[in-house]
Structure 1
Amino acid sequence: MNEKKNTVLMTEGGIFKNLLFFATPLILGNLLQQMYNAVDSIIVGNYVGSNALAAVGAGASLIYLLIAFSLGASVGAGVIVSQYLGAKEKEGVHKAVHTALAISIILGLILTAGGILFSRKLLVMMNTPAEILDDAACYLRIYSYGLIFNVVYNMAAGILNAAGNSRRSLMYLAAAAVVNIFMDLLLIAGLKIGVAGAAIATNFSQAISCILALWFLFRVPADYRISLKSLRIHKAMALRIIQIGLPTGIQNMVISFSNILIQASINQYGAMAVAGFSAYLKIDGFNILPVLSFSMAITTFIGQNYGAGKYDRMKKGMWVTLLMGIVYTVLTGILLLTFSGQIMRLFSEDVGVIAYGQTAMRYFCPFYWILAILHSLAGTVRGTGKSIPPMVVLLVSLCLFRIVWIQLVLPYYTSIEGIFILYPVSWLVGAVLMILYTWKGKWIEL
């Protein structure tokens, strides 16, 4: 293999083709990842029961909170690496990738320890129903042992994606998906060890994807190759990564906190509501993750073209990404609504669980295109290195607005619909703000 094969620069050629070829492996990889997360819940729901399904879902918002900051760091590293690659600065690429990986190892160890020590306390603070608390704490504690693999893999994937080599991430997630499904069937359906089996299976799969990604980075004949002896934190480079990644990390953490408040509100409706909503969130990912993939694709595209000084190409890429995101979310929203009953019955035959899941779908599915606009524009601006404006917009719409809604509006609702309607309304607020900034803000330095 040569360097050209392992590095894809999107500064030349057809914009639609560049973005589609880069985004497709990201989308497929995320769908694979979501698929094996969904399989976890399907197997748990069918072989253990609705309470166990609720227990697995109860900690989902906490898991995202634990990894939220590290995801921001991987975004910051990806922007820096893509800009250096676009500018063809080999020394900058070398320092960026080694600093990024070192940061991820440190963060991974800290988050693993934090998850193990505080998982049950956090679940209690969220008013997790008593009938599922023990299983939820067990799942979250065991899952936390694998956080180091999750964090390091996300950083490694960020480096690969910055180099335009998103196909590698797809290959490694495919391997992880096969391992996860096999381990689920063995541990849950076969050995009958319940929610602990789901957590162990996920940890094994994340370890596999992490090891494979690192193995490739240690061997690839390209500027972003990792050398063990060069693995260190370069102070100036770390500050650049943190400068870009910190706003995204803070944004992710604060949004995760708002989602925890939402989950706490849902917990008050009982285990069936928790089970139905958590089951739907596994389906929700088949819309959300591709939207985030488009956002990641345009961030890399913008980063490379910004580094190369091709500003007109950046704007055209933004419009192409908006079109792809809107078309995808409209089509999938229609499909999910059409087959909502059949989809929910995959997770449980319990009428209550199915009803809550279908209610969520009616409020979410018609409006994912709004979320596509929000994240496509945020990814566009973020690719120039200006990560603070998207952070502010996302914090205002997906956190502050939601908290205000929970405190001031939700008390007037007597049913769970007051929570579900909050999602599309907050997406709309964010999309409007992001459109205004992209239109009027000075995010391209001419």
Structure 2
Amino acid sequence: MKNTDHAKQLGEEKTYKLLFKFSMPAIVGMLVNALYNVVDRIFIGNGVGSLGIAGITVSFPFMIILMAFGMLVGIGSTSLISIKLGEGKRAEAEAVLGNGMVLLIGISLCLSALGLLFLDPVMHLLGASASVLPYAKEYMSIILWGAVFQAVGFGMNNFIRAEGNPRIAMLTMLIGAVLNTILDPLFIFVFGWGIRGAALATILSQAVSAAWVLQYFLGGRSLLKIRRKNLQLKVATVGKILAIGSAPFAMQLAASVVTTILNNSLSIYGGDLAISAMGIVNSIAMLILMPIFGINQGAQPIIGYNYGAQKFDRVKHTVILAMAVATCIVCMGFILVMLIPQQLIAFFNREDQELIRLGAHALQVFLILLPIIGFQIVGANYFQAVGKPKHAMFLSLSRQVIVLIPAVLVLPRFFQFDGILMAGPVSDLVSSILTGIFVYKELNSLDKKQRQRYELQMQAE
């Protein structure tokens, strides 16, 4: 009965109510997830200085790789668990859960060992200068020791969602983020541990989140249980998990490559201070854009269900509504970026006036086309929701990879540091034009399909 009511709700309740109901938990979860990185940069910037921010910024591509493997196994397992539960095959769902947990732990331990073994060359590859290298090494060496906690807490939290408990999954992230926010100033300022303290705060917070997730599955609250017999890897199960999770994994790896190229270009054309400034810019952009990703998560089931039910007018209305809300959010962010850029940068370091000046300039140039980004992100997500992943991936990659990488490599040759900043709006513009063309054609197609459906209903009557 609950499933019937749920389907009826997706197909009949007002779309603006549905979008709010489905998006809010996702938005909170996304913002909480972003706070880990942003809070670290704020406290390190004020407690350690601009070189500390640069150290985290050059470490970030490696952290993205750790998250990519978490998504590979976490999202792949989650989809498979949902399918098995839908088929009423609880035992098989538990087998996927067990195999997923072993993969998450095993892969994270391997990455930690490799990272610690080759830490110096990896940090150099990611853009660390001689001045930044000690900070990057000090931070990442601790993060890598605790990578298994991130893998379990982040990866297995997806399994809780697969059971239909998004609120508990959101609470997992809230616990970690709040604890990190408390421990950061304690370790950095009170204990005087500097960048090492920020890393310790992060892994301790992730350890608590991991313990919370494990307690959920080992205790009596979960539908699925961790059973010893399911901890032996099965080739067929592992293959399915990795195949399903490969798309988000590829996107995260692409993001890591882009960030590495960006850091190296910044090092050449702007030095350590430029890396610090762009690290702050990316943190601010992340906070502005995370609600858009939450809206995407909320809109996806509404669009997908109504597309499948051939209620194309509701599909179109949901897409336009999601785009409108997303545009309002990015426009508010744009107003803040343009009106108080120095104040936003100063959150991360109040003392370094040169960093504040450079960061404010970078913020305004890099995010000059922020008002059109909401439309582009929602437009790309629409195609994922209606089962056209190739369109979705092309449009997503057009902004994050296909246009951005050539722009970052070419424009600085002519405009130096400003060329790197201009790569952002160039990528935003080109990808938004492409998305506009795709979405325009798709919305016209929806109108045509709706008219045909209406005519068939009229004939049937």
Q: Tell me the TM-score normalised to structure 2 length.
A: 0.82
Aligned residues: 438
Distance 1:314 1:162 in 2: 24
Look up the match of 2:226. 227
Matches within 5 A, 1:246-325: 246-268=246-268, 269-301=270-302, 312=312, 316-325=317-326
Distance 1:273 1:419 in 2: 10
Distance 1:390 1:248 in 2: 12
Output the amino acid matched with 1:356.
Answer: L
Native 8 Å contact 2:411 2:420 kept in 1: no
Output the amino acid matched with 1:379.
Answer: N
2:87 to 63, 86, 89: 89
2:382 to 377, 380, 394: 380
Look up the match of 1:350. 352
Deviations 1:99-147, CA, capped at 9 Å, x for gaps:
5444433333333333323332122124422112111112112112222
Output the amino acid matched with 2:215.
Answer: W
Distance 1:243 1:385 in 2: 17
Distance 2:257 2:164 in 1: 32
Native 8 Å contact 2:330 2:374 kept in 1: yes
Distance 1:237 1:310 in 2: 34
Native 8 Å contact 2:99 2:231 kept in 1: yes
Residue 155 and residue 296 in structure 1: after superposition, are their counterparts in 2 closer, same or farther (change >3 A)?
farther
Question: Could you tell me how far 1:192 is from its partner in structure 2?
Answer: 1.3
Residue 406 and residue 367 in structure 1: after superposition, are their counterparts in 2 closer, same or farther (change >3 A)?
closer
Look up the match of 1:178. 178
Look up the match of 1:418. 419
Residue 439 and residue 80 in structure 1: after superposition, are their counterparts in 2 closer, same or farther (change >3 A)?
farther
Whether 1:15 and 2:11 are equivalent positions in the alignment is no
Distance 2:225 2:386 in 1: 25
Deviations 1:323-358, CA, capped at 9 Å, x for gaps:
222221112221233222222112212111111211
Matches within 5 A, 1:68-87: 68-80=68-80
Native 8 Å contact 1:48 1:194 kept in 2: yes
* Structure 1 unpaired stretches of 5+: none
Look up the match of 1:189. 189
Residue 8 and residue 61 in structure 1: after superposition, are their counterparts in 2 closer, same or farther (change >3 A)?
farther
Look up the match of 1:119. 119
Residue 294 and residue 231 in structure 1: after superposition, are their counterparts in 2 closer, same or farther (change >3 A)?
farther
Native 8 Å contact 2:267 2:274 kept in 1: yes
Distance 1:311 1:226 in 2: 38
Output the amino acid matched with 2:226.
Answer: S
Native 8 Å contact 2:82 2:162 kept in 1: yes
Q: Tell me the TM-score normalised to structure 1 length.
A: 0.85
Q: Percent identity?
A: 24
Deviations 1:222-246, CA, capped at 9 Å, x for gaps:
65x3433445656555444433421
Residue 433 and residue 96 in structure 1: after superposition, are their counterparts in 2 closer, same or farther (change >3 A)?
farther
Look up the match of 1:153. 153
Native 8 Å contact 1:55 1:136 kept in 2: yes
Native 8 Å contact 1:58 1:263 kept in 2: yes
Distance 2:325 2:83 in 1: 24
Question: Could you tell me how far 1:97 is from its partner in structure 2?
Answer: 4.6
Look up the match of 1:62. 62
Of 327-336 and 309-318, the range deviating more from structure 2:
309-318
Deviations 1:179-202, CA, capped at 9 Å, x for gaps:
212222222112212111111111
SS in 1 for 2:46: helix
Look up the match of 1:44. 44
Look up the match of 1:403. 405
Output the amino acid matched with 1:339.
Answer: I
Of 147-156 and 7-16, the range deviating more from structure 2:
7-16
Output the amino acid matched with 1:402.
Answer: L
Residue 123 and residue 53 in structure 1: after superposition, are their counterparts in 2 closer, same or farther (change >3 A)?
same
Output the amino acid matched with 2:121.
Answer: K
Question: Could you tell me how far 1:69 is from its partner in structure 2?
Answer: 4.1
Larger Cα Rg: Structure 1 or Structure 2?
A: 2
SS in 2 for 1:421: helix
Look up the match of 1:131. 131
Deviations 1:269-304, CA, capped at 9 Å, x for gaps:
122222222123222221122222223333455566
Distance 1:82 1:304 in 2: 16
Of 50-59 and 152-161, the range deviating more from structure 2:
152-161
RMSD over aligned CA atoms reads: 3.5
Distance 1:245 1:48 in 2: 38
Distance 2:10 2:81 in 1: 15
Distance 2:309 2:106 in 1: 34
Distance 1:353 1:286 in 2: 20
Deviations 1:57-80, CA, capped at 9 Å, x for gaps:
221233213322432444444555
Distance 1:84 1:330 in 2: 42
SS in 1 for 2:143: helix
Residue 48 and residue 379 in structure 1: after superposition, are their counterparts in 2 closer, same or farther (change >3 A)?
same
Residue 331 and residue 90 in structure 1: after superposition, are their counterparts in 2 closer, same or farther (change >3 A)?
farther
